[in-house]
Amino acid sequence: MASPHAAALIEDRWNRLKMAALSDRGYGTQIITYTGYGSTGSVRILARTLMSRRRDPESADATASDLELHHAMYARRGWRSFFTAPAIGVPVRITIGDRTVHTRTDRAGILDVTIADHGLAPGWREATIGAAGARDASAPVLVIDPDETFGIVSDIDDTVIKTMLPRPLIAAWNTFVRHEGTRSAVPGMATMYRDLLAENPGAPIIYVSTGAWNTVPTLTRFLRSRGYPLGPLLMTDWGPTNTGWFRSGQDHKRAALHRLARELPKIVWVLVGDDGQHDPAIYGEFAEQRPERVRAIAIRRLSATEQLLSHFTPLANDELGPNRRRLAQVPICRASDGYGLLRLLQVALGKLPVPSDVVVEE
């Protein structure tokens, strides 16, 4: 096995020094839980441990009132999520259903564990995560019926929230400076997701993004306040890896799609993204490799201005993959907002007849 990249070794050393210094100043461990998912056979538990002097509002109980969440959301700026110190290699205890598992967090403080034979029925359940010196925390877990056949995978940036990524100055402004409450939702996307899931009770929605795990509490509050259905957020850890200075966001999305296909083998997915980044190529590639696992691809068309801010050209990144012929059985819908995409998807999924003014590419 190859030695870790120098960048990863430097980052690990720096994080351990921070962890030791904060421990000497009386800091303890705080558990930030994320939404997990799985089936009646096994579930994936996601969380993170940070160094903290006291319980942070980021991990506030999800049952807080809407008014409290509203005020909390407008009081925060995104940069606060990034000034954290991971608690590395912390022993943790996870209890869910009939199982209790002991493990440790990774080099970024991330906990990502699959637990089998938990004995839970489909529906929203809870796992309890504990660590020495930290309060036990409850993690929501969506247990999906093993016979479920419908699901949604959604990108986040410029698909559900307008971020104008990756232009550095705008991305930094949106992430580190602007209050959470000033961010804009893409019109109609929440309505589209609610309507599609209402027609398929029990079906999951999984948000997959190249954003950092640090932003999950922020994004969860945003999704809740804008009426989006809640579901697991599969993010990535920014920074050095064992192979280089930065991890590949595209590889993260590809890996997430194939993992979902393995873990939930009966679900045929609607893949939703935008044409400002690499979503068409990633989704097209996945559909070429696993055409039986893709029910439709829905691409939000960015405006010329959004395209220019996104990647310095007004032209869309609309390449769906190297072998378009293998996508013949996968409907491809394009519209500028959720309302247009919903109408096209309802036609593509056979919920509506095909009117003369609707075009669904196949």
161-207 pLDDT, tens digit per residue, is 987 555 455 445 555 555 555 578 999 999 999 999 999 999 999 99
Q: Number of helices and strands (H, E) in the chain?
A: 9, 14
Provide mean pLDDT across the span 64-81.
Answer: 44
pLDDT at 67: 42
pLDDT at 59: 44
What 3-state class would DSSP assign to 91? strand
pLDDT at 357 over 90: no
pLDDT at 178: 54
pLDDT at 274: 92
pLDDT at 192: 98
pLDDT at 319: 66
List, in order of start, the domains of the chain with CATH numbers.
6-144 (2.60.40.10), 150-203+244-348 (no CATH)
**Distance between terminal CA atoms of the chain?**
44
Can you say how many angstroms the Cα of residue 255 is from the centroid of all Cα atoms in its chain?
13
pLDDT at 312: 57
Q: Between 75 and 24, whose confidence is greater?
A: 24
Q: Are 270 and 295 in contact (CB under 8 A)?
A: yes
pLDDT at 182: 59
Report percent pLDDT > 90 for the chain. 51
pLDDT at 2: 53
Nearest to 152 by CA among 263, 267, 42: 267
Q: Are 190 and 154 in contact (CB under 8 A)?
A: no
pLDDT at 32 over 90: yes
Per-residue pLDDT of 224-244, as tens digits, reads 999 999 999 999 875 545 554
pLDDT at 321: 56
Per-residue pLDDT of 310-339, as tens digits, reads 655 655 666 665 555 556 689 999 999 999
Report the length, in residues, of the chain: 362
What 3-state class would DSSP assign to 92? strand
| Angle between helices 66-74 and 216-225 in degrees, nearest 10 | 130
Cα dihedral across residues 118, 119, 122, 128: positive or negative: negative
pLDDT at 72 over 60: no
Q: How far apart are CA 179 and CA 182, in angstroms?
A: 6
Q: How far apart are CA 8 and CA 172, in angstroms?
A: 24
pLDDT at 310: 62
- The one-letter code for the residue type at 314 is P
Cα dihedral across residues 91, 263, 255, 176: positive or negative: negative
pLDDT at 276: 82
Can you say how many angstroms the Cα of residue 329 is from the centroid of all Cα atoms in its chain?
27
pLDDT at 80 over 70: no
pLDDT at 53: 77
Per-residue pLDDT of 119-138, as tens digits, reads 999 999 999 999 988 999 99
pLDDT at 21: 77
Q: How far apart are CA 212 and CA 218, in angstroms?
A: 11
pLDDT band at 217 (very low <50, low <70, confident <90, very high): confident
pTM higher than 0.95 for the full model? no
pLDDT at 218: 84
Provide mean pLDDT across the span 74-87.
Answer: 59
